[in-house]
Amino acid sequence: MAVAARRETRMCVAEYRVWVEDRPDSERWELIDGEPLLMSPPRERHQAIVANFIVSLAGLAQEKGCRALPRLAVLSAAMDDFAPIPDVIVRCGPLLPDGYSSDPILVAEVLSPGTMSLDRGRKTDFYRSVSSLHRFLLVSQDEARIEVWRRAAEGWAIDILYGGGILDLPELGGSVAVRDLYTDIVF
């Protein structure tokens, strides 16, 4: 569950970056609607799904000169009061000088009971504003189910994939079986 830091005014990303620099490395903070939110440590099930994603995407990403990475903040020029930290991003190009990416091509959020409404609500609005993003994924922990948001000519399209499905990733030139993203996860 996320806990907001009490503040009198909303922060922009520049203020947040200065503020969070003094926080201990053990704390995971996000900026959502101008409020710094302290995230609780994820459960092992959550982290196992994240690890499966990174392993499954790493080869495809590498072939395109990209990387699948955990815990980088995402920035958007359209929303200066957000710096969420999704579970997995894929980005291309040289290594970043810091932990902030404004150019991810894929973002995955593993849904947790305490953050599900935020992930499906304000974070979804935010991710749709990131101009480089081709798709973002909302990944269930309770069943083999992935909600795939993909950028289309007319806006965003949504597909739902289940355990027997295939996650097509044309931006990475390949695909991943949904079952591989849930390796060793028992429902």
Q: How far apart, in whole angstroms, are the C-alpha atoms of residue 51 and residue 49?
A: 5
pLDDT at 3: 55
Low-confidence spans in the chain with pLDDT less than 50: none
Q: What is the pLDDT of residue 83?
A: 97
- Residue-level pLDDT at 7: 52
**What pLDDT, in 10s, does the model give residues 133-150?**
999 999 999 999 999 999
Residue 5 is predicted with a pLDDT of 57
> Could you report the per-residue pLDDT of 100-121, keeping only the tens digit for each?
999 999 999 999 988 888 889 8
Contact 150, 175 (CB under 8 A): no
Buried b or exposed e, range 41-80, using 16+ CB within 10 angstroms: ebeeebebbbebbbebbeebbeeeebbbbeebbbbbeebb
Helices (H), the chain: 13-21, 44-63, 116-120, 122-128, 178-181
Residue 6, pLDDT score? 59
Residues β-bridged to residue 177 = 166
Q: How far apart are CA 72 and CA 132, in angstroms?
A: 15
Which amino acid is located at 59 in the chain?
Answer: G
Q: Which residues of 120-130 are buried (b: 16+ CB within 10 A; e: fewer)?
A: eeebbebbbeb
Q: Give the domains, in start order, of the chain with CATH numbers.
A: 43-181 (3.90.1570.10)
